[in-house]
Amino acid sequence: MLRTTLQSIFLSAVILATGPACPPLAHGEASISGAESDMTIEVHDTPVQEVLAALGTRFGLRVRGTTSLDRRIDGRYEGALRGVVARLLNGYDYVIKTDERAIEVIILGLTKRDQTPPQNQAVPLPTKRRSD
């Protein structure tokens, strides 16, 4: 009895001591609610690929391409499926193909940084010069 108790205490101590050294779980959290036309997705440290796979399971979204979608995201996304997918894929070049039955996303690659205006800055619009 004493030996079993000592083994349990030792095992608990080892688990507690090595817990912080263990890598975090590879999967984050994603919660989808609502319908295809009006949904809410809440994600916490989840790869884009997992979120798209969950949308595929729930709404029949098809995704193809060779680019890795392992960028981890956090946040709340609301709206219709097409708009939510567009926001999830911010930073990627892609094409969305829609027919009456399904939405298909073709991932072309990562967006080139020098071609994308910064998200928090306004894009200057050309102005007409006055001819005085």
pLDDT of residue 52: 96
Domain encompassing residue 86? 29-113
Q: Is residue 37 exposed (0-12), middle (13-18) or buried (19+ Cβ within 10 Å)?
A: exposed
State the distance between the two ends of the chain, measured CA to CA, in whole angstroms. 100
Q: Bridge-partner residues for 110, per DSSP?
A: 92
Residue 45 located in a structural domain: yes
Q: Which two tokens stand for residue 123?
A: 């894009």
% residues pLDDT > 70 (the chain): 64
In the chain, the number of structural domains is: 1
What is the average pLDDT across 73-90? 95
Residue 49 located in a structural domain: yes
pLDDT of residue 122: 56
CATH classification of the domain holding 70: 3.55.50.30
**pLDDT digit string (tens) for 96-115?**
998 888 899 999 999 887 55
Single out the residue of 41, 117, 108 nearest to residue 79, CA to CA: 41
